Every structure is written in structure tokens, then in C-alpha cells.
Structure 1
Amino acid sequence: MIMAGGGLGAGFRAALGHWIASHFVSAFPTGTFVVNVIGSFVIGLISVIFADRVVHADWLRLFLMTGLLGGFTTFSSFSLETVQLIHNGRAALAASYIAASVILCVGGAMAGIYAARTLS
């Protein structure tokens, strides 16, 4: 189940990344950034749903959190793109990418947790 989720997550990531790249042309790695923010929000949301035992299926938690979101989010891509920005003389853009990613991804996880608790 985890591998199936990972495959689906990677497919969703590729599709969303392609769509974003075709609509938002920028030196800033917008596709990876958006995927990581969305993934952070969703993992926060799902973690509360399973922690509060709204859903009791461990296989579903593993499928969604480890598989789907593991395949969807892109920390290794984030790291490589940051290094590439620095190597291309865009250190300020790299710094803004790091700051925005950390702030908004952590914020996304917090928002997902808040949303799940508010809805339950």
C-alpha cells in the first residue's frame, strides 16, 4: 500500500509541477514550493484525523502519510534547487526560497492541524 501511495503521490507531484511551470514562469522554483506547502498542510490535517482516531485504519494512515505524501512532497528537490540557485549566483533568491518554504510549510502543517481540530 505504501508503494502504491508513493506512486500516486509522485504522479500528482509531476502533474501539478508541470501545470504550475506552464502557468507561472519564474526563476523561483514555484512548483516544488507549492507542492511542499500543500503537502505540509495535508499531512497536518491527516495527522490529527488519525491521532484523534476519527479513522482507525493503520494501513490507510501509512498509505496516505508515508506513501502518498512521501511521494508528493519534494524535500530533496527543494535542497537541489536551493544549491542550484546559489551556484547560479542567486543567493538572495535561494535565501528567500529557504525562508518562505520553512515558514509556509510549517505554517501549512499548523493550519492543517487547526483545520482538522476545528472540523472535528
Structure 2
Amino acid sequence: MELEATGLLLVAIGGALGGMARLAVGDAVARGLGSAFPWGTLVVNLSGALAMGGLVGALGLPVDMPGLSWQLLAIGLLGGYTTVSSFSLQTLTLWQQRRPLAALANVAVTLVAGLLALLLGWWLAGGAT
């Protein structure tokens, strides 16, 4: 995929905004629910999957070159908002704390609920019509 300068700028702006939103949402959820389990990252990733499903339902999947809206919102904003690296680190931390059930639950809930959230967002945006 080759991006033009405008697309790169949109991805950078979206990524910066998404990263700031991830920090704000993750911290707010962790303050409310505690840090014994990575609730903040889970909420961020599930809400990001829901939003991505909404984008797919509204904009469709880019076939060749993604448009500017897709570059800003999907690649930039949601790419900066959701986080596989934090999810992976927190899962490893749970495992190292000898909490294998919590680690496995984090993986299972993130993957299964993430796919369901994406499908729900797609459906809510009219993707099923």
C-alpha cells in the first residue's frame, strides 16, 4: 500500500488522537474497576473493535487503496486507540503472577468478545443489509 503525503498526515493525526484516547479511557476504567485485571485495555480493545465494525458497515472494506476517511479513522485513530502490545504484556504479567486462569480469560474474552463487538458494530452501521 502506497500512501500519499495527505494520507500519511491523516494517519499521524488519527494515531496521535487515538493514543491519547486510549490513555484516557484505559486510565478511567482502571480507576473505576481496579488494576487486578487489565479492564482498561479490555474496554479499549472491545470499544475499538465495535467502532471498527461500525466503520466497515458504514464505509465498507477498502479493496485497493483505502480512502482518506479510512486512513484517518481506521488506520490512524483506531490503530492508535487499540493496543495489542499492552494486551500481550498484561497477559504475560498475569501468567508470571501465577494467575494462568486470568491470563487465559484475558486472551479468550479479548478475542471472542472483540470479534462479537466488531460484528455488532458492523450490524449497527447497516452492514447486514
Same fold by TM-score greater than 0.5: yes
Match of 1:95 in 2: 104
Match of 2:18 in 1: 9
**Residue 77 of structure 2 corresponds to residue 68 of structure 1:** yes
CA contact (8 A) 2:19 2:81 kept: yes
Identity score, percent: 34
Q: CA 1:26/1:18 → structure 2, altered by over 3 Å: closer, same or farther?
A: closer
Where does the alignment leave 5 or more consecutive residues of structure 2 unmatched?
Answer: 1-9
TM-score when scaled to structure 2?
0.84
Match of 2:123 in 1: 114
**Partner SS state of residue 84, structure 1:** helix
Give the deviation of 1:28 after TM superposition. 1.0
Give the deviation of 1:118 after TM superposition. 6.5
- Structure 1 residue aligned with 2:95, among 78, 86, 89? 86
Where does the alignment leave 5 or more consecutive residues of structure 1 unmatched?
Answer: none
TM-score when scaled to structure 1?
0.91
How many pairs are equivalent?
A: 117
Higher mean alpha-carbon deviation, 39-48 vs 17-26, is at: 17-26
Pick the structure with more helix per residue: 1
